[in-house]
Amino acid sequence: MTSKLRKKVVSGRVSGQFQKIVKTSWSILLLVLFAPFSTTAALGAHAYRTVSTMSPRPMAMGGAFVSVKDDLAALIWNPAAFILYQKDVSHRLSVHINPVIPAALLHKDHQNVGDFLAALGTTLRGITYSHSWAELGLLLWEEPFYNPAAPVDGPFFDADDILNHCIHTLGFRARLASTVSLGSTANLYRIRNERGKTVLAGGTNYGVLLKPARGLEVGLAYFDFPSSLAQLRWEMEGLKDESVNAGISFYPDGSTIVAMDLRDAAGEEKIDWNRFRFGFERTFWECLSLRLGYFQAEPKERDVYSFGLGLLGGNIRDWGIPHCHLSSCLANYTLLVEEGDGDRRFWHLLYLKFCL
């Protein structure tokens, strides 16, 4: 009897893994076909952040992400929302791999062994550790929106600047109660400014995530940037130095998120329309997410409409185990359409990541 039951469980898990692989394959095909089409079909200037960014999911939801839970992406938005698993998991170490940077760097000619080793080193995207009531995460090689040296209408994959123009983040989240979480991050910025000089500086983020009612979550995030990089995340993400940002997200069911953010919620200026962010996410078949959003980019208050697709994969070791991993994606693609002053600009955001 026990043997038959064990075989049935194993068979069910294998069947679940097979179904997940089939759905994943179709989703990858859809994502691969969609991304190049959006690049070639649209007329206007194109900008690319496609080699090492965690921004696709947050920005696809219009940047309304302060109260939305995620894995590595939450470290740079609200560390209190940095949550890896839906159920308690103790002493779990995971490694996150990015194949895009090394592939882009190794595609070009290298003069010495050091360049080759540096390219291979960028494969490591992050390391996370999960305990029953806390998570610890290290995020490496984050590609910021701000990049004055990036060419307009350049190649889709361009990793030339990533080694000298990136952000590294170490953060943690602690769950104080079932409805309260706190988080903090320390950030190391290595940024090349508009004068071509490299700025090396540090900063911190702090966050709170509350769950006042079922299906409702509220987040607060404080950003402290180095004074020399105070405008680093201002133009598209709307994040000011020493600002408190608030967010609220509503979950009408297990597959839908409706979110809204207010930038600089504690600011002395009156609350204008351009300080709000709106986002929506719907997940289909437990593996493919559709995202929409709207916001106004600074400082000219240009309208930005966002569209995104996400392929949920979770930890490869957990495939076939339903609802184990929270929201880790194998791939995310986002298209931002920025309009104003009679012209149009398209931002393409992409990341590929595997978790082991």
For every residue of 188-208, DSSP letters joined together read: EEEEE-TTSPEEEEEEEEEEE
The pLDDT, as a whole number, for residue 323 is 41
**Domain-embedded: residue 346:** yes
The span from the CA of 328 to the CA of 71, in Å, is: 6
- How far from chain centre, in Å, is Cα 157? 18
The pLDDT, as a whole number, for residue 254 is 86
Number of domains in the chain: 1
Give ∠ CA 247-351-238 in degrees, rounded to 5: 35
The span from the CA of 203 to the CA of 222, in Å, is: 11
**Domain-embedded: residue 5:** no
CA 246 to each of CA 62, 106, 176, 261: distance values in angstroms, whole numbers, following the listed order? 14, 41, 20, 6
DSSP for residue 52? S
Give ∠ CA 129-130-132 in degrees, rounded to 5: 155
The pLDDT, as a whole number, for residue 30 is 53
- Is there a contact between 39 and 345 (Cβ–Cβ < 8 Å)? no
Q: Tell me which amino acid residue 301 is.
A: E
The span from the CA of 188 to the CA of 167, in Å, is: 6
The span from the CA of 291 to the CA of 257, in Å, is: 9
The pLDDT, as a whole number, for residue 319 is 46
**Domain-embedded: residue 260:** yes
pTM: 0.85
- Is there a contact between 236 and 150 (Cβ–Cβ < 8 Å)? no
Task: Write down the H helix ranges in the chain.
Answer: 2-41, 56-60, 100-106, 113-121
**Domain-embedded: residue 256:** yes
The span from the CA of 220 to the CA of 189, in Å, is: 23
**Cβ neighbours of residue 83 closer than 8 Å, sequence gap 6 or more:** 69, 70, 71, 74, 135, 173, 181, 326
Host domain of residue 203: 17-355
**Domain-embedded: residue 8:** no
User: What pLDDT tens digit does each residue of the chain (356 aa) get?
Assistant: 555 545 544 455 445 554 554 454 445 545 554 555 555 455 678 989 988 999 999 999 999 999 999 999 999 999 999 988 766 667 889 899 988 888 777 766 555 666 777 778 888 999 999 888 899 999 999 999 998 877 776 777 777 778 889 999 999 999 999 899 999 999 999 999 888 888 999 999 999 999 999 999 999 999 999 999 998 999 899 999 999 999 999 999 989 999 999 999 987 777 788 899 999 999 988 778 999 999 998 777 789 999 999 887 655 455 444 444 444 567 899 999 999 877 889 999 998 888 88
**Domain-embedded: residue 287:** yes
The pLDDT, as a whole number, for residue 127 is 95
**Cβ neighbours of residue 339 closer than 8 Å, sequence gap 6 or more:** 302, 303, 304, 305
The pLDDT, as a whole number, for residue 14 is 45
**Domain-embedded: residue 202:** yes
Give the number of C-alpha atoms closer than 13 A to the C-alpha of residue 322, restricted to the C-beta side.
8
Task: Write down the H helix ranges in 42-160.
Answer: 56-60, 100-106, 113-121
The pLDDT, as a whole number, for residue 320 is 45
**Closest by CA position to 237, among listed 117, 52, 68, 77:** 77
**Domain-embedded: residue 312:** yes
* Secondary structure (3-state) at 174: strand
- Is there a contact between 351 and 56 (Cβ–Cβ < 8 Å)? yes
- Is there a contact between 323 and 344 (Cβ–Cβ < 8 Å)? no
The pLDDT, as a whole number, for residue 109 is 55
The span from the CA of 55 to the CA of 63, in Å, is: 9
